[in-house]
């Protein structure tokens, strides 16, 4: 019922009840004494009309009372529903903590109420690390459980007067009052949060490990320069600090500092630049020579991505590959580069191989091998000339999938090398179970090579291990003659490094090959060629 209509009804009911009570008093004062007198046998009974009027009166009063009670109940019910609705709008359904809207309003209130310069409010932004993976690997029910557990554990640690909210997804935020001369109280609190949330969450007999990254901003860090409200500004600064904690390796906390804002701006510009650069075809393949150390001849090229950025000039992959991986464009970027490299390599002598680096992110795609094979067919590039380099980090993820991927690539004739060998932690049994074609010894071991130092012993160990696995070797990072000489004692292998030249663009490669008489005679050379590389020969020669 509409409130105005109900109010009028209330009023009518009340008026009827009051009139009935008035009438009751009047009739009762006449009827009751007569009734009493009649009861004691003294007189005639009360007037019948008056008696009826009295009964009608009583009925009216009862009716009014009932109506009043019902209306009151209805009113109470509506108030409760309104209260619940307001609470629902203020709270996050899943965890029962505040939501973004109510938190911001609450924080605004706290900040405007705090006038004492010795006191401040810390906004603590908390973000679960790799939460998407928890969802992907264990399902959404497990994800929800992790979120609820995290909220509960954090809430339990909060001091009086503090508030927790879930801003959405796996992002939480707390407002915690503290004394400006003891920010270490906040350090202590967030350290405990990091420890407590890290305790495994058990879901259907599975223990799920999760860590958090935390950013903190104190209200005494606000300078009033922002166009945002103080609460928005504080939450934004905490978020920037949290982001910094992620960048520094996750599972840690940082207080907001002004330079972080610039870092973030730079990072956002880079992200936008990379997306734009892919569209505008600004990424180009560079090539590094791979040499047969026995003959000194070029036997292959490793394709290394470069970004010809209109704003920044030539950018190295160490800068843009990790970002491209993070923002989900690495596969697109890599496929465009590989397509270009196929076209470039078709102009080389058909015996020269092409190595390409593949990110662990690409290896998570179950269709990866199919994509590569499709590209080979589209570009009519012979599979045996392609060498895929994967790093040891790929092996830690889903070894079963990696194995079947490597197997299907190799079944089509593609070679697969283990890159940066020695920097990861692959076990011997893991290596034995994966059908690699070649190991590339990481350049950190090679550049140090002289004679009789620690690196020599390491390389010695790696070489005898690869001999045991019957895997040929490429040594990367050969920077000078001395290293080359040191390598010679281990027999046949391939090598690459600045000693032979820096990575160069496709045109320079063509000039180099032309001078060496190693250009393809016709484009079809490649397709019909059955030329094989001499990988198997290397180990045999070394063993021999």
Closest to Ca ion by CB, 92 vs 387, is 387
Site for ligand C2E in 444-473 (CB under 6 A): 447
Which residues, other chains included, contact 277 with Cβ-Cβ below 8 Å and sequence gap of 6+? Answer: 283, 307, 309
Name the one residue in this structure whose structure tokens are 């309003």. 105
Count of residues in contact with ligand C2E, rule CB under 6 A = 23
Closest to ligand C2E by CB, 31 vs 478, is 478
Q: Cβ distance 417 to 437 under 8 Å?
A: yes
Assess 344 for contact with ligand C2E (CB under 6 A). Answer: no
Closest to ligand C2E by CB, 173 vs 395, is 395
Q: Is 277 left (phi over 0), alpha (psi -120 to 50) or beta?
A: alpha
Among 13, 57, 357, 474, binds Ca ion (CB under 5 A): 357
Assess 392 for contact with ligand C2E (CB under 6 A). Answer: no
Task: Using alpha carbons, select from 462, 464, 402, 401 the residue that is nearest to residue 436.
Answer: 402
Closest to ligand C2E by CB, 350 vs 503, is 503
Closest distance of CB 136 from ligand C2E, Å: 21
Closest distance of CB 316 from ligand C2E, Å: 4
Assess 420 for contact with Ca ion (CB under 5 A). Answer: yes
Assess 497 for contact with ligand C2E (CB under 6 A). Answer: yes
- Choices 12-20, 182-190, 354-362, 493-501; region in contact with Ca ion by CB under 5 A: 354-362
For residue 83, give the 3-state DSSP assignment. helix
- Residue 130 binds which entry of Ca ion, ligand C2E, none, with Cβ cut-offs from 5 to 8 Å by kind? none
Closest to ligand C2E by CB, 288 vs 538, is 288
Residue nearest to ligand C2E (CB): 497
Tell me phi and psi for residue 16, to 5 degrees: -60, -45
Structure tokens at 376: 């080979």
Assess 351 for contact with Ca ion (CB under 5 A). Answer: no
Closest distance of CB 445 from Ca ion, Å: 11
Assess 419 for contact with Ca ion (CB under 5 A). Answer: yes
d(CA 397, CA 418): 15
What is the chain's Cα-based Rg? Answer: 39
Closest distance of CB 96 from Ca ion, Å: 50
d(CA 65, CA 58): 11
Instruction: Report the number of secondary-structure helices (H) and strands (E) in the chain.
Output: 20, 17
Site for ligand C2E in 351-370 (CB under 6 A): 357-359
Assess 277 for contact with ligand C2E (CB under 6 A). Answer: no
Structure tokens at 416: 């697969």
Among 96, 317, 424, 505, binds ligand C2E (CB under 6 A): 317
Task: Using alpha carbons, select from 431, 465, 463, 428 the residue that is nearest to residue 446.
Answer: 463
User: Could you give the angle at which helices 3-39 and 48-90 cross, rounded to 10 degrees?
Assistant: 150
Assess 316 for contact with ligand C2E (CB under 6 A). Answer: yes
Tell me phi and psi for residue 288, to 5 degrees: -115, 135
Task: Using alpha carbons, select from 287, 286, 290, 356 the residue that is nearest to residue 495.
Answer: 290
Q: Cβ distance 305 to 290 under 8 Å?
A: no
- Choices 72-80, 108-116, 133-141, 474-482; region in contact with ligand C2E by CB under 6 A: 474-482
Straight-line distance from the first to the last Cα atom of the chain, in angstroms, rounded to the nearest whole number: 98
Interaction site with Ca ion (CB under 5 A): 357, 389, 419-420
The residues that touch ligand C2E, with contacts defined as CB under 6 A, are 288, 304-305, 316-318, 321, 334, 337, 357-359, 419-420, 443, 447, 476-479, 497-498, 503
């Amino acid at each position: 019922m509409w409130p105005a209509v109900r109010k009028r009804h209330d009023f009518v009911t009340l008026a009827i009840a009051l009139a009935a009570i008035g009438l009751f008093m009047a009739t009762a004062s006449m009827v009751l004494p007569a009734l009493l007198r009649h009861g004691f046998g003294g007189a005639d009974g009360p007037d019948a009309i008056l008696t009826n009027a009295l009964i009608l009166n009583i009925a009216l009063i009862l009716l009014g009372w009932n109506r009043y009670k019902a209306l009151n109940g209805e009113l109470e019910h509506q108030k409760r529903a309104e209260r619940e609705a307001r609470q629902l709008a203020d709270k996050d359904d899943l965890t029962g903590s505040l939501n973004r809207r109510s938190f911001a309003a609450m924080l605004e209130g706290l900040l405007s109420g705090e006038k004492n310069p010795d006191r401040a409010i810390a906004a603590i932004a908390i973000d679960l690390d790799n939460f998407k993976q928890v969802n992907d690997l264990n399902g959404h029910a497990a994800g929800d459980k992790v979120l609820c557990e995290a909220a509960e554990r954090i809430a339990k640690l909060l001091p009086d007067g503090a508030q927790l909210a879930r801003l959405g997804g796996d992002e939480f935020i707390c407002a915690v009052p503290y004394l400006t001369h003891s920010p270490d109280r906040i350090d202590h609190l967030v350290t405990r949060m990091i420890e407590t949330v890290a305790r495994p969450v058990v879901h259907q007999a599975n223990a799920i490990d999760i860590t958090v990254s935390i950013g903190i901003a104190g209200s005494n860090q606000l300078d009033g320069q922002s166009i945002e409200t103080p609460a928005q500004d504080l939450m934004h600064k905490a978020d920037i600090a949290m982001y910094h904690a992620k960048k520094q390796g996750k599972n840690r906390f940082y207080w907001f500092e002004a330079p972080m804002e610039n870092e973030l701006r730079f990072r956002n510009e880079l992200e936008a630049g990379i997306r734009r650069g892919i569209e505008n075809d600004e990424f180009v393949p560079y090539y590094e020579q791979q040499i047969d150390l026995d003959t000194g001849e070029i036997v292959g090229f490793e394709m290394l991505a470069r970004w010809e950025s209109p704003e920044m000039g030539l950018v190295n992959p160490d800068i843009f590959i990790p970002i491209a991986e993070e923002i989900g464009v690495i596969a697109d970027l890599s496929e465009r580069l590989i397509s270009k490299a196929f076209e470039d390599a078709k102009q080389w002598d058909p015996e020269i191989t092409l190595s390409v680096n593949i990110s662990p992110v690409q290896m998570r795609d179950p269709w990866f091998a199919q994509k590569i094979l499709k590209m080979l067919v589209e570009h009519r590039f012979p599979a045996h000339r392609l060498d895929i380099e994967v790093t040891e980090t790929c092996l830690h993820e889903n070894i079963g999938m990696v194995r079947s991927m490597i197997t299907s690539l190799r079944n089509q004739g593609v070679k697969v090398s283990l890159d940066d060998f020695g920097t990861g932690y692959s076990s011997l049994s893991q290596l034995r179970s994966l059908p690699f074609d070649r190991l590339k010894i990481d350049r950190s071991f090679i550049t140090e090579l002289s004679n009789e130092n620690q690196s020599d012993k390491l390389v010695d160990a790696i070489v005898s291990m690869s001999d045991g696995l019957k895997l040929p070797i490429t040594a990367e990072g050969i920077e000078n003659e001395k290293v080359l000489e040191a390598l010679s004692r281990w027999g046949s292998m391939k090598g690459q490094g600045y000693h032979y030249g820096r990575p160069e663009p496709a045109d320079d490669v063509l000039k180099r090959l032309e001078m060496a008489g190693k250009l393809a005679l016709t484009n079809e050379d490649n397709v019909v060629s059955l030329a094989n590389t001499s990988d198997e020969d290397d180990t045999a020669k070394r063993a021999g």
